[in-house]
């Protein structure tokens, strides 16, 4: 038989061509070197994985649960006590200290609360708590917290330092603080194996926090007072120095100031607002004299006007004369005498003594009135002259003082600078003094912005261990470890379990899967029963073989595997029987020249057989044995030769195959395993097709691929692979073509 008798053929998946011996080697090598397709997980595969691994998964989960239970039972009970502390950002105002405190905004609230939480968990608060509760010297605290204390090393400096650090770390690590976002009440919690100790420490931390906060406020206020007191003393000294400098300069420059504080005579250091600005004595005198000069000038002008009016007017018409009382009295007397004179003239003549006397009296009165009026006018002149003299005197004095004041102004520049320095120092001193008084007023009356709402009480039940939580964690850990185990096992274990694995791992078509028999069932009895699940599987395989070439089932088929006991003999027998049942003349040949078994299963003799054909001693018709099934004959291995590989020459194999094909439609050869022997590759090289048998969940990818590579290297045409002993439910392979058909066949048989 030549190579041209083997037509080209493609695999059942429509992939690369698997051709006859001319290009089969190159085609398979190309397929063999391709990357495997990615693993596609489905529900059936997942169920299969779980069913395959349920025992180790159950063991791992059970061990994890047991470990969780043991850890829960052996764990030390931890009790938690909590104290409630209210934290306010601003304290209540007992006195008005608005100017002393910075304004706060809503944006500062979160920073303030976070700061308080940091203080509650700080090392400083832990040290304060330990000192208040005397925990540094209390070994019972360490014992209660589960820390072993070496009594022999308790008084050494290193031991004291270590014990101190242990106490601080225990307080910090077992303290937790919770502050809800919508509340200002913080829960200050402490965990320990002793419920009473938890309550005591929680209350101790709360007390230390409250008192520490208050002490910080007092310390801040005291620091501010001390600082202001120092600044106040310095400012007072500067004020006194500046006043002394100003007085010394005034004395040196002969400058005398009057009015206001801080004059030449000094002044009250405290000073006050609303005090008039001091001025020099010369300036004050000049101001007063200038005022008097102005008034004198006005008096002079007024007097001058009166005098000029008196000069122009008749003497007796002057208002001053008319209004003068003495003049008015004299005028009245004269009027009386004139009346009497008129009366006497009517009675007497002009020379009458009474008339003469009255005229004399009237003349005397006129003279007196004239003298009195003259005196009045002279007084007006004198008053005018007096105002003129006063004005001239004031003018002279003001001029002299003005010259003196102008001389003093040059010296007053330095005096003004010193005066401003005194005023500035006084203002600073007064401001510091006012701030110091306000701080002194608020000292001791500032309320605390943190307070204890509820004190901690001993807990009745522990918070740890939590059995349900621990068991849930143990279950999760167990499931995780089990998943890791299954993942590692599934990825590290390259066992071929399903028909998909055959195509994915071996890169050859899967002709079919043969179900695993139950305990006690005989495979040859099952394949003889056409309605059995195994027989149905091989019927499907026979159908796949008919589609493997253009002309149907290859006329010569060799069945082999990578290792013994994978079901190749059963597969070869079942295939030959099924072909015979279709009307073909099928010949089954046992070519295993090392461990032949088919003659035993078929209950036939093994006198002469395949060996006799290879040596040319017999022909096919001489050694064939009927099996009882029409069209199905069998050739046993015959006597076992000492060197089987030497008999399997290409010439002898071709001679045998030509002889067999002359009498039969199909020749099925049961060959030995590939690994470790050269028989199967030699036989496969001269046959039209090679069927590779793989035992499910036993055969491994590496060995199977190596075996197929050996076959392809020998130019064998591997038409496909059969998966035997396939337990679909156990392996989770619920493909309709396999699982359902097996179940359907079983139900039919049962019926």
pLDDT in tens, 168-203: 999 999 999 998 877 889 999 999 999 999 999 999
* 202: number of Cβ within 10 Å: 26
C-alpha distances in angstroms, 671 versus 604, 620, 661, 674, 675? 18, 18, 18, 8, 12
Please report which residue ranges of 253-352 form alpha helices under DSSP H.
281-312, 319-322, 325-347
Q: What is the DSSP string of 402-425?
A: HHHHHHHHHHHHHHHHHHHHHHHH
Mean pLDDT (the chain, rounded): 80
Sign of the alpha-carbon torsion through 226, 230, 235, 241 = positive
Distance (Å, rounded) from C-alpha 481 to C-alpha 475?
10
Q: Which residue has the higher pLDDT, 460 or 736?
A: 460
Between 209-218, 314-323, 707-716, the lowest mean confidence (pLDDT) is in: 314-323
* 583: number of Cβ within 10 Å: 10
pLDDT in tens, 211-242: 888 877 776 667 677 787 888 888 888 888 88
Beta-bridged to residue 495, according to DSSP, are 700
- pLDDT at residue 721 greater than cutoff 90: yes
CA atoms within 13 A on the CB side of 625: 19
Contact 210, 450 (CB under 8 A): yes
Contact 18, 547 (CB under 8 A): no
pLDDT tier at 730, thresholds 50, 70, 90: low
- Consecutive H or E run containing 331: helix 325-347
Lookup: tokens for 678: 């050269």
pLDDT value for 107 = 59
Q: Which of 663, 678, 693, 705 is nearest to 591 (CA)?
A: 678
Q: Which residue has the higher pLDDT, 670 or 391?
A: 670
Say whether 678 sits in a helix, a strand or coil. Answer: coil
Say whether 79 sits in a helix, a strand or coil. Answer: strand
Domains of the chain, by residue range, sit at: 54-75+465-489, 83-94+105-226+448-454, 279-442, 497-518+537-728
- DSSP conformation class of 277: P
Contact 383, 303 (CB under 8 A): yes
- Of all residues in the chain, the percent with pLDDT exceeding 70 is 82
pLDDT value for 280 = 67
pLDDT in tens, 343-361: 777 777 777 788 788 788 8
Average pLDDT on 237-263 reads 74
Average pLDDT on 549-560 reads 93
- pLDDT at residue 4 greater than cutoff 50: no
Range among 44-53, 136-145, 213-222 rated most confident: 136-145
Range among 306-315, 332-341, 533-542 rated most confident: 533-542
Phi, psi angles (nearest 5°) of residue 719: -80, -15
- DSSP conformation class of 589: E
Contact 199, 440 (CB under 8 A): no
CA 697 to chain centre: 50
Between 61-75, 136-150, 549-563, the lowest mean confidence (pLDDT) is in: 136-150
Q: Would residue 567 be called left, alpha or beta, if left means φ above 0 and alpha means ψ between -120 and 50 degrees?
A: left
Between 365-379, 453-467, 580-594, the lowest mean confidence (pLDDT) is in: 365-379
Distance (Å, rounded) from C-alpha 560 to C-alpha 670?
7
Average pLDDT on 504-514 reads 92
Distance (Å, rounded) from C-alpha 427 to C-alpha 727?
105
* 351: number of Cβ within 10 Å: 7
Distance (Å, rounded) from C-alpha 405 to C-alpha 398?
10
Between 150-154, 245-249, 281-285, 472-476, the lowest mean confidence (pLDDT) is in: 150-154
Q: Which CATH class is domain 497-518+537-728?
A: alpha beta
Lookup: tokens for 710: 């050996």
pLDDT value for 712 = 94
Beta-bridged to residue 279, according to DSSP, are 258
Radius of gyration of the chain (CA): 69
- DSSP conformation class of 739: I
Lookup: tokens for 106: 């809503």
Q: Which residue has the higher pLDDT, 736 or 496?
A: 496
Q: What is the DSSP string of 590-644?
A: E--SSS--HHHHTT---SS-HHHHHHTSS-HHHH-EE-SSTTEEEE---SPPS-H
pLDDT value for 336 = 83
Residue that the structure tokens 């202001």 belong to: 228
Contact 8, 17 (CB under 8 A): yes
pLDDT value for 444 = 53
pLDDT value for 217 = 73
Phi, psi angles (nearest 5°) of residue 195: -65, -35
pLDDT value for 263 = 42
Please report which residue ranges of 443-551 form alpha helices under DSSP H.
467-492, 499-501, 523-528, 533-546
Q: Report the C-alpha dihedral over residues 188, 194, 199, 203, rounded to 10 degrees.
A: -70
- pLDDT at residue 630 greater than cutoff 60: yes
Please report which residue ranges of 134-194 form alpha helices under DSSP H.
139-144, 157-173
Q: Which residue has the higher pLDDT, 438 or 570?
A: 570
- DSSP conformation class of 178: E
Distance (Å, rounded) from C-alpha 604 to C-alpha 342?
215
Between 63-72, 156-165, 666-675, 681-690, the lowest mean confidence (pLDDT) is in: 156-165
Residue 664, judged by CB atoms within 10 A of its CB (0-12, 13-18, 19+), counts as buried
pLDDT tier at 42, thresholds 50, 70, 90: low
pLDDT value for 442 = 64
Please report which residue ranges of 33-183 form alpha helices under DSSP H.
43-52, 54-74, 107-120, 123-133, 139-144, 157-173
Between 23-27, 296-300, 303-307, 747-751, the lowest mean confidence (pLDDT) is in: 23-27
Range among 16-20, 101-105, 158-162 rated most confident: 158-162
pLDDT in tens, 257-288: 665 544 443 444 444 444 455 666 677 777 77
pTM: 0.51
Q: Which residue has the higher pLDDT, 307 or 168?
A: 168
pLDDT value for 364 = 81
pLDDT tier at 106, thresholds 50, 70, 90: low
């Amino acid at each position: 038989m030549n190579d041209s008798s083997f037509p080209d053929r493609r695999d059942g998946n429509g992939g690369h061509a698997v051709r006859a011996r001319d290009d089969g080697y190159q085609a398979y090598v190309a397929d063999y070197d391709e990357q495997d397709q990615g693993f596609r997980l489905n529900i059936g595969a997942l169920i299969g994985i779980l069913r395959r691994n349920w025992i180790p998964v159950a063991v791992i989960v059970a061990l994890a649960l047991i470990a969780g239970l043991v850890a829960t039972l052996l764990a030390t009970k931890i009790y938690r006590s909590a104290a409630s502390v209210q934290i306010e950002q601003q304290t209540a105002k007992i006195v008005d200290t608005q100017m002393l405190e910075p304004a706060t905004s809503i944006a500062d609230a979160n920073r303030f609360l976070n700061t308080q939480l940091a203080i509650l968990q700080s090392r400083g608060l832990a040290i304060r708590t330990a000192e208040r509760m005397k925990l540094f010297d209390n070994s019972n605290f360490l014992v209660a917290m589960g820390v072993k204390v070496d009594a022999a090393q308790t008084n050494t400096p290193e031991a004291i330092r270590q014990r101190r650090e242990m106490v601080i770390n225990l307080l910090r690590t077992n303290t937790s603080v919770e502050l809800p976002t919508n509340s200002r009440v913080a829960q200050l919690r402490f965990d320990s194996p002793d419920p009473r100790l938890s309550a005591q420490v929680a209350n101790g931390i709360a007390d230390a926090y409250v008192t520490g906060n208050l002490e910080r406020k007092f310390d801040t206020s005291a620091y501010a007072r001390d600082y202001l007191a120092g600044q106040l003393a310095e400012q007072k000294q500067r004020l006194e120095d500046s006043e002394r400098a100003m007085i010394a300069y005034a004395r040196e420059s002969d400058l005398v100031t009057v009015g206001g504080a801080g004059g030449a005579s000094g002044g009250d250091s405290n000073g006050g607002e609303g005090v008039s600005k001091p001025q020099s004595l010369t300036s004050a005198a000049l101001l007063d004299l200038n005022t008097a000069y102005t008034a004198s000038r006005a008096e002079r002008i007024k007097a001058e006007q009166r005098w000029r009016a008196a000069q122009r007017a008749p003497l007796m018409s002057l208002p001053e004369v008319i209004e003068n009382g003495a003049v008015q009295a004299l005028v009245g007397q004269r009027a009386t005498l004139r009346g009497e004179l008129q009366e006497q003239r009517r009675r007497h003549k002009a020379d009458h003594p009474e008339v003469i006397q009255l005229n004399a009296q009237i003349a005397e009165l006129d003279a007196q009135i004239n003298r009195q009026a003259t005196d009045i006018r002279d007084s007006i002149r004198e008053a005018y002259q007096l105002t003129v003299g006063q004005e001239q005197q004031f003018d002279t004095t003001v001029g002299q003082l003005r010259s003196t004041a102008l001389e003093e102004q040059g010296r007053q520049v330095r005096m003004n600078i010193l005066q401003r320095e005194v005023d500035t120092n006084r203002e600073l001193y007064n401001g510091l003094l006012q701030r110091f008084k306000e701080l002194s007023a608020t000292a001791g009356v500032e309320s605390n912005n943190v307070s204890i709402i509820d004190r901690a009480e001993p807990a009745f039940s522990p918070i740890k261990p939590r059995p349900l939580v621990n068991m849930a964690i143990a279950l999760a850990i167990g499931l995780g470890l089990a998943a890791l185990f299954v993942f590692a096992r599934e990825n590290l274990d390259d066992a071929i379990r399903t028909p998909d694995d055959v195509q994915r791992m071996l890169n050859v078509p899967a002709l079919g899967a043969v179900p695993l028999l139950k305990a006690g069932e005989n495979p040859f009895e099952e394949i003889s029963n056409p309605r059995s699940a195994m027989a149905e599987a091989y019927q499907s395989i026979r159908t796949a073989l008919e589609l493997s070439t253009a002309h149907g089932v290859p006329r010569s088929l060799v069945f082999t595997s990578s290792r013994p006991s994978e079901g190749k003999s059963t597969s070869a027998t079942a295939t030959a029987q099924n072909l015979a049942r279709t009307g073909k003349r099928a010949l089954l040949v046992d070519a295993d020249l090392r461990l032949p078994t088919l003659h035993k299963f078929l209950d036939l003799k093994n006198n002469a057989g395949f060996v006799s054909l290879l040596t040319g001693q017999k022909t096919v018709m001489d050694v064939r044995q009927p099996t009882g099934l029409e069209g199905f004959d069998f050739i046993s291995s015959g006597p076992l030769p000492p060197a089987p590989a030497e008999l399997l020459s290409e010439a002898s194999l071709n001679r045998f195959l030509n002889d067999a094909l002359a009498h039969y439609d199909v020749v099925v050869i049961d060959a030995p395993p590939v690994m470790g022997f050269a028989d199967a590759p030699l036989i496969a090289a001269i046959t039209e097709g090679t069927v590779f048998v793989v035992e499910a969940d036993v055969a491994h990818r590496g060995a199977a691929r190596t075996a197929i590579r050996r076959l392809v290297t020998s130019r064998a045409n591997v038409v496909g692979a059969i998966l035997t002993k396939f337990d679909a439910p156990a392996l989770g392979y619920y493909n309709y073509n396999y699982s359902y058909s097996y179940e359907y066949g079983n139900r039919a048989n049962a019926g």
